[in-house]
Amino acid sequence: MPGRCRGGTETERARALRAAVSGLRHALARHPVELPDRAVAEEELAALAAMAAESEPEPARLRGALLLVLGALGSVSALAEPLAELNAAISRFGPPPGRR
C-alpha cells in the first residue's frame, strides 16, 4: 500500500511526531525549575519539529536529536511522560541502526 510503512502511514508518523514534540515543548515551558541544558533541548525540539514537516525525515537524524534531548532532560522526572511519547513517536520511523 503506498504511503504505508513501519508504524503507520507517513502522515500518521509525522502527526505523532509533531504531537510529541509539541507536548514536550509545552511541558518544558511549564517546568518552573531552571535547567542547565534547556537551550540545547529547545534547539533540538525545534529541529525535530522541522524534521516532522519533511516528507521523509531521516531516522538517524531523528534519533540523534532524541539523544540530545534525552541527555538534556532525561533526569527530570516531571518530563518523563512527554519524553517517553517523543521516544515512541521517533521509534515509529524504524529501529536504531544495527537492530532489525
C-alpha gyration radius of the chain: 13
CA distances for 35 relative to 13, 22, 41, 59, 89, angstroms:
30, 19, 10, 27, 24
Nine-digit cell string for 5: 510503512
* Average confidence (pLDDT) over 34-63: 94
Lowest mean pLDDT among 10-19, 31-40, 63-72, 79-88: 10-19
- Residue identified by cell 519539529 is 49
Q: Is the sign of the CA dihedral 83, 89, 95, 97 positive or negative?
A: negative
Q: How far is the C-alpha of 10 from the C-alpha of 19, rounded, in Å?
A: 14
What's residue 52's pLDDT? 93
User: What's this model's pTM, rounded to 2 decimal places?
Assistant: 0.86
